Amino acid sequence: MTTFDPLDMHNYRIEQLPKRAKGRFEKGLAATGPFLALAAFILFGWLVKLPFLQNIDAAMLTSAQAKAAFAKIGAEAFIRSNEMMLAIFAASLILWMTEAIPNYLTSLIVIIALVLTSVLPEKTAYAQLGHEVMWLNIMSFVLASMLVATGVAKRFALWFILRFGKNANRIFLSFIFINLLLSAFISATTAKAAILLPIFMVIAAIYGARGGEEKNNFGRSIVIQNLFEINVGASAFMTGSGANLLAVSLIAGAIGTQVFFSDWMTAMLPISLLLMLIGYLLAYKLFFPLKLEQRLPQIEGGMERLRQEYRSLGKIDLLEIKAVILFILILGFWATDRLHGISPTAVAFVGAIVALLPRIGIVNWNDVDIPWHLMLFSAGAYALGAGLSATDLPVLAVNAFFDHAGIGDGTPFWAIFMLLTAVMIFSALLFQSKTMRCMIFVPIAIGVASRFGFSVISLALPVAFMIEHVYVLPFNSKPAALLYETDRYSMGDAFKFGFTMMVIAWLLNIVAGETWFRILGITPNGVFGLF
């Protein structure tokens, strides 16, 4: 009988972890999802006539695309397209939330539904798979695969831990910087979790953390902090996740100009780093304090196993050197995009081509891991966004809500800022998809800004900055579900730490809105005027 070796990294690969079975409630949602979605589609498409959609005129529209559609097809047909857009939107949300069918299949249904109901012409609906941001996603996966296939990502993480992780405190701090650096280049948070999980699980074992009844605060802290840092690190960069890229696409479409990688990084890198440091201090001092014996390795020679793993990688070879050089060049071009004007997509395109060149390149196409199911899911989300823009549904709905609630144009900016950012961040407790939250709340922020005469950037960008806070409950994100399977912490452990950090992140966003974001010109009365 083979005994379990807690220091063997192969034991912590994703495919080795047990798969969490759906609970009764989740199974019930999945079973009823198709019927609820069909009911919502019929209800909003044919049975219920919402008053705010029945008397639309050209003066109510803010989107140039919507105005053009109104002029072309007339008021009656435009109203009908809005009704069908609402029906498709409601049905797709139900299918995505209940996970009744795979998300990519829902997206395919969305695309063809938008075509068959004449909300979008075929050319526009099908073109979303060739959207600029889709290409950035694809090229980013090529480049991320380069880091994984050459071993650069693993070598860097192991080297950093062995070089700077001399004790428990410094190990936790090391993962902050590892997560930040990987977030700039790897736009899939699950991929980051897959790279780092074997490393921090071996470290947890070295410090005596086990699953089941043998949990300890070191194990709780290192896994929960990494979950937090994987997501918050993604919020530091526009390329940190596909949801960030979608948000940028929606905002750029609304303002008619580009949102630069350097602008997002300037605004959020300091905030993300500060949040990670606050999370570390609270975990270490308040939530999961370490006893003296827990600060010392419990397995003799444990760190030596990490050194053996690092040595097994051998000396850095030419492919790894080329990958590092390309990595630095691409980050450099992304960080200076405001100076040279070359888009992140174009930079990633060139980088991916260089990486794939035969003989002189770095990675083979067969080594590239592109999750096409996620690409199809994103294409459906972008098509839904195109439909919302073509019908101006978010603006019409927002105006109707504020008129009904009696909220006038004199409402202070900061009251709206606090409300919208709160709704975005705390909605993560209920939703399973960052992309879905982005599709709902960023257009709402754009609509609210248009209604009250504020800059779209001033509300939509701070709302987008809240996308990545999906670390409280296991179903909030794929990394959360994945790391929960390690059995090193309970749902209660994650909730008390995660919800506290969620509140702190929201408050910090408000403070930044009054200070740092104002200096950058994101919120009103800016100094630098980047936007």
What DSSP character marks residue 43?
I
Question: Nearest to residue 323, comparing CAs of 163, 142, 467?
Answer: 142
pLDDT tens column, 415-464:
899 999 999 999 988 776 787 788 888 988 988 998 888 999 999 999 99
SS3 17: coil
How far, in Å, CA of 354 to CA of 168, rounded? 40
| Residue 343: predicted pLDDT | 84
Q: At what angle do helices 217-234 and 189-206 cross, to 10 degrees?
A: 160
> Above 90 in pLDDT, residue 67?
no
State both tokens at 302: 């444990």
Quick one: pLDDT at residue 57? Answer: 86
Instruction: Tally the C-alpha atoms within 13 A of residue 464's C-alpha that lie toward its C-beta.
Output: 33
Place of tokens 């939703």: 431
Tokens of 134: 């889709």
Token couple for 255: 């303002």
More confident residue, 248 or 527: 248
Contacts with 49 (C-beta within 8 Å, 6 or more apart), sequence order: 83
DSSP string, 397-411: HHHHHHHHHT--TT-
Range with lowest mean pLDDT among 44-48, 52-56, 192-196, 407-411? 407-411
**pLDDT at position 217, please?**
86
Confidence of residue 527 (pLDDT cuts 50, 70, 90): very low
pLDDT of residue 308: 84
152 with 326: CB under 8 angstroms?
no
Cβ–Cβ under 8 Å, residues 439 and 381: yes
Q: Which helix (H) or strand (E) holds 471?
A: none
Instruction: Report residue 91 as tokens.
Output: 């049905």
Q: Has residue 371 got a pLDDT over 80?
A: no
pLDDT digits (tens, 9 = 90+) for 460-509: 999 999 999 999 988 778 788 888 888 888 888 899 999 999 999 999 99
User: C-alpha distances in angstroms, 78 versus 54, 56, 89, 387, 388?
Assistant: 10, 8, 16, 12, 12
Structure tokens at 435: 């992309």
Which are the contacts of 331, defined by CB distance < 8 A and separation ≥ 6?
184, 185
Question: Given CA atoms 364, 370, 372, 373 in this order, what sign does their dihedral have?
Answer: positive
Q: Determine the Cα–Cα distance for residues 178 and 494; give it in Å rounded to an integer.
A: 21
Please state, in angstroms and rounded to a whole number, the distance separating the CA atoms of residues 62 and 449: 11
Q: For residue 388, give both structure tokens.
A: 């919302």
Q: Is residue 528 predicted with pLDDT exceeding 50?
A: no
Res 315 pLDDT > 60: yes
Average pLDDT of the chain? 84
The number of CA neighbours under 13 Å toward the Cβ of 470 is 30
Question: Which tokens go with 189?
Answer: 């948070």
Identify whether the C-beta of residue 42 lies closer than 8 Å to the C-beta of residue 34: no
**304/302 Cα distance (integer angstroms):** 5
- The Cα 398–Cα 301 span in angstroms is 61
Checking if the pLDDT of 215 tops 60, the result is yes
Whole-number pLDDT of residue 5: 61
97: tokens are 């939330």
Placement of tokens 């201090």 in the chain: 281
Distance in angstroms (rounded) separating the CA atoms of residues 202 and 165: 13
Q: If you average pLDDT over residues 165-182, what whole number do you get? A: 85
Q: pTM here?
A: 0.81
- Rounded distance between C-alpha atoms, residue 307 and residue 7, angstroms: 12
Count CB-CB contacts under 10 A for residue 344. Answer: 27
**Ramachandran assignment for 158, one of left (phi > 0), alpha (psi -120 to 50 degrees), beta (any other):** alpha
State percent of the chain over pLDDT 90: 29
User: How many residues in total does the chain contain?
Assistant: 531
Residue 337 CA to residue 237 CA, distance in Å, equals: 13
User: Does residue 176 surpass a pLDDT of 70?
Assistant: yes
What Å distances lie between residue 401 and 43, 434, 445, 447, CA to CA? Answer: 20, 24, 13, 11
Q: What is the mean pLDDT of residues 108-118?
A: 93
Query: What is the domain partition of the chain in residue ranges?
Result: 10-100
Rounded CA gap, 264 and 63, in Å?
24
Q: How far apart are CA 309 and CA 272, in angstroms?
A: 30
DSSP labels, 120-133: S-HHHHHGGGG-HH
CA–CA dist 171, 138 (Å, integer): 33
Q: Which of 505, 478, 474 is nearest to 492 (CA)?
A: 474
